[in-house]
Structure 1
Amino acid sequence: MWMIFRKEWKELLRDRKTLFFMIALPMLLFPLIFGAIIFFTANAVKDAESKVLNYAIVGAEYSTQISQALADAPDKFKRIEIDANADYAVLIKDKTVDFILVIPAEFGTNVLDNGPQKIALYLNDAGLNMVYRRVNEIVSDLSDQVQQDSFARLGLSETQQQGLLEPVSLERKNVADERENWGEKIGGMLPYMIFILCLQGAMAPAADLGAGEKERGTLETLLISPMERYKLVMGKFLTIGFAGVTSALITVASLALWGLVLSQGLAIAKVAAFMAMIGWIDFVLIFLMLIPVVAIFAAVLLSLSIYARSFKEAQSYMGSLIIFVLLPVIIALTPGVKLEGHWVWVPLTNVALAMKELVKGTMDYFALIGIFTSTAVIAVALIAFCIHWFNKEKVLFR
């Protein structure tokens, strides 16, 4: 078994394509993808904030403050004259204007006597345009001014003003520590990333060790060797599992390294402080829980590779597995699903929930019994099926 493992691992290390998927892809491509997403998102937000918005205003004579505030910012807003009876929706969809303000005739009256006043803002809010936020900044300034004028007319002190604005407030007293707060935000995404990386890293060697051997004609040489079939399977299985774990660890380490290099000093301090809160035992447990998970992936992938007639057919089978891997993680992210009751015994979902709890520091360590038991049972059953599959000549030589 170990002889097969060493042999397969040496062949993988000689294969440039496999090394690319296991090392180069995690170290370069995934950080590049995340960096590109952050870069383009930041640029899109910046462009939306700096874009000069074309606008039209109907009833400008009823509020000189708003019309003047818009006119005083030519680097942000450009006024377009329109017919007051035009179809506003058509003008906005045709991109003649980005938004239209409609000020009613009763605007500017005494709010103490007539109550609050409303201005209609017509816009297309389906995309990232920040029209509402940018216009609301101007309207909010006017609203604050009207509010202060009204308080002055009533002769209210600052304390009385605050009492009227917020007569009863609910003060938040969060008993969760910083680690739990951060863990709740990012802990759920950790298994999402690691599961996909383990599967992705194991796919390339799995397709090669089964279907690839069929195409090269080397499978027959292995089968006529005096070694028992189960040892052949276990050697290939260990190779695939080791490749999956290696790929996941390289990717996570690469993301952490790139994050430290590209982040600002404040961000590094926050990341370092958060990582320091997580004990080494929790890191070890996260890694140990990956072992039966990778065993499940490796057994399924090897079974599919043995069944497939060609390398291409094996890849098509394996690509559909991503859906089945994502489903347990999505369930773990669902509100109300916690690591308790029957969820402790649901394979993959329980591991995703446990990783989140370990990052948060709220792990019930007794739940590890159910997690390791259920996941290990599934893994052993799949390995047994893989050995059974490998012993069938009609499967090997389809």
Structure 2
Amino acid sequence: MWQVFIKELIELLRDKKTLFFIIALPLVIFPVIFALMGFLGAKAALTQSEKIVKYVIVNEEAAPDFANVLFYHNDFKKVDVEVSDEASYIKAIKDEQVDLVVVLDPEFNKHQNASEKSTWKIFFNGSKVIGGSRIKLEDAMDRYAEDLQQKMFSQLGLSREQFDVFKQPIVLEEIDTADERESFGEQLGGFIPYLLIPLCLTGAMYPAIDVGAGEKERGTIETLLLTPVSRFSLVFGKFLCILTTAIMTAVITILSMVFWTFLVGRVFSVDEVAQVLAAVGFFEFVMVILLLIPVCSIFAALLLAISIYASSYKEAQNYMGPLTVLVIFPVIVGMTPGINLDGVWALVPISNVALAIKELLKGTMDFAYMVPIFASTGIFAFVSLAFCVYWFNKESVLFR
């Protein structure tokens, strides 16, 4: 068994493609993702902040003060476009002549004098105006509405202080009992397993294809079966090789994640990130790796069974593609708000590990749940391995 394990491991380490997916991909993926997210986020924010909103006001005479607010606002530009009805408003927006059409209530003053609410309409393309233009307009309208409120209260003889109390009679002071680590873990704790677990699957996938379908394609599976080694030892040696590469991927990914997160925190002077990372101790990182071992065992057994069944490298890749998609669904549970690790979720393989990793990063892990997590995931891994051994003993599978 160990000879098979060492043989397969040496052959895999000679394969540059395998080394890329085990070592290079985990080291590169985090800086690329962080840089891409930061670049796209900064670019989108800059674009929205610099965007000049082209607008048209209908029934401008109903509220000339508000028209002046928009006219002298740096983020708005009034354009001269002929509009008469809703169809023309929509056409002007679709033709990109304007971004916003603001339709004022023609009887606004009448409603105001009667202390009645007035309805204004805003036409915009929601698929293109990604919140920025609307937010700018709402900000301008809020300031105009506040000025109106102040005038109304002044007519009633109320002071500015009384107006402020009437506007907001209760001030809610929020005191968040969660520390920085818990808040950080809640925000990113579900995202880390979303990257980590699929990478473990990727780290096991290509070695599994090589030791199964690759053996068939090279014609060496027959020679291997003629050796005085039991079928179980052959399967278990190959399984251990795939498991080792998957765990190596997990360890390298975690080290890469720690290194790049710490580096980003230091370079960009984000002290909170460095402090939170320092709060996550060596024990938590070890527990994350231990949690990933049974998950990697499940992946190794399932992928080896698929690879043994496939008659070629390409066929194995086609069969393993859907598995990559299926793994995403239980991992998404860790990112779903309102779902926390409890007695029920601790029994759901893969989902329990994703939730446990989030709790470990938050520092709120109840270690009593470790028993059902390891038990359920371990049983599933054992069943997967048993099926793989059964599969390898079928001549119709090996020589199809």
In the alignment, what sits opposite 1:63?
A: 63
Compare 1-10 and 286-295 and name the one that shifted more: 1-10
In the alignment, what sits opposite 1:365?
A: 367
Q: In the alignment, residue 101 of structure 1 is paired with which amino acid?
A: V
Compare 298-307 and 155-164 and name the one that shifted more: 155-164
Tell me if the contact between 2:347 and 2:373 (Cα under 8 Å) persists in the aligned partners: yes
Q: 2: distance between equivalents of 1:109 and 1:249?
A: 71
In the alignment, what sits opposite 2:201?
A: 199
Q: In the alignment, residue 162 of structure 1 is paired with which amino acid?
A: D
In the alignment, what sits opposite 1:101?
A: 102
Alignment of 1:1-398 (within 5 A): 1-29=1-29, 31-73=31-73, 76-85=76-85, 87=87, 88-108=89-109, 111=112, 113-127=114-128, 128=130, 130-262=132-264, 268-398=270-400
Post-superposition offset of 1:273:
1.1
Tell me if the contact between 1:53 and 1:98 (Cα under 8 Å) persists in the aligned partners: yes
Q: 2: distance between equivalents of 1:112 and 1:293?
A: 69
Post-superposition offset of 1:54:
2.4
Post-superposition offset of 1:29:
4.4
Post-superposition offset of 1:387:
1.6
Tell me if the contact between 1:112 and 1:150 (Cα under 8 Å) persists in the aligned partners: no
Structure 1 residue matching 2:367: 3-state secondary structure? coil
Q: In the alignment, residue 325 of structure 2 is paired with which amino acid?
A: I
1:185-205 Cα shifts (integer Å, max 9, x gaps)? 121222222111100111111
RMSD of aligned alpha carbons? 2.4
1:117-172 Cα shifts (integer Å, max 9, x gaps)? 44321111123262211222222222222233333333334442232112245543
Post-superposition offset of 1:366:
1.2
Cα pair distance change 1:162/1:68, threshold 3 Å: closer
Compare 294-303 and 238-247 and name the one that shifted more: 238-247
Post-superposition offset of 1:240:
1.0
Tell me the TM-score normalised to structure 2 length.
Answer: 0.91
Q: 2: distance between equivalents of 1:309 and 1:89?
A: 58
Q: 1: distance between equivalents of 2:139 and 2:170?
A: 26
Gap regions ≥5 residues in structure 2: none
Post-superposition offset of 1:6:
2.0
Task: Count how many residue pairs are aligned between Structure 1 and Structure 2.
Answer: 398
Post-superposition offset of 1:42:
2.7
Cα pair distance change 1:75/1:346, threshold 3 Å: closer
Post-superposition offset of 1:322:
1.8
Report percent identity of matched pairs. 44
Tell me if the contact between 2:201 and 2:246 (Cα under 8 Å) persists in the aligned partners: yes
Q: 2: distance between equivalents of 1:125 and 1:11?
A: 55
Q: In the alignment, residue 23 of structure 1 is paired with which amino acid?
A: I
Tell me if the contact between 1:56 and 1:82 (Cα under 8 Å) persists in the aligned partners: no
Q: 2: distance between equivalents of 1:65 and 1:166?
A: 25
Gap regions ≥5 residues in structure 1: none
Tell me the TM-score normalised to structure 1 length.
Answer: 0.91
Q: In the alignment, residue 21 of structure 1 is paired with which amino acid?
A: F
Tell me if the contact between 2:341 and 2:356 (Cα under 8 Å) persists in the aligned partners: yes
Cα pair distance change 1:265/1:62, threshold 3 Å: farther
Q: 2: distance between equivalents of 1:29 and 1:365?
A: 31
Tell me if the contact between 1:54 and 1:80 (Cα under 8 Å) persists in the aligned partners: no
Post-superposition offset of 1:18:
1.2
Compare 326-335 and 347-356 and name the one that shifted more: 326-335
Q: In the alignment, residue 132 of structure 1 is paired with which amino acid?
A: R
Q: 2: distance between equivalents of 1:25 and 1:260?
A: 19
Cα pair distance change 1:249/1:66, threshold 3 Å: farther
Cα pair distance change 1:333/1:83, threshold 3 Å: closer
Compare 201-210 and 337-346 and name the one that shifted more: 337-346
Structure 2 residue matching 1:281: 3-state secondary structure? helix
Compare 54-63 and 21-30 and name the one that shifted more: 21-30
Cα pair distance change 1:249/1:155, threshold 3 Å: farther
Q: 2: distance between equivalents of 1:266 and 1:292?
A: 37
Tell me if the contact between 2:81 and 2:97 (Cα under 8 Å) persists in the aligned partners: no
Tell me if the contact between 1:180 and 1:360 (Cα under 8 Å) persists in the aligned partners: yes
1:276-334 Cα shifts (integer Å, max 9, x gaps)? 22233222211111111100100000110011010011011111112321222233444
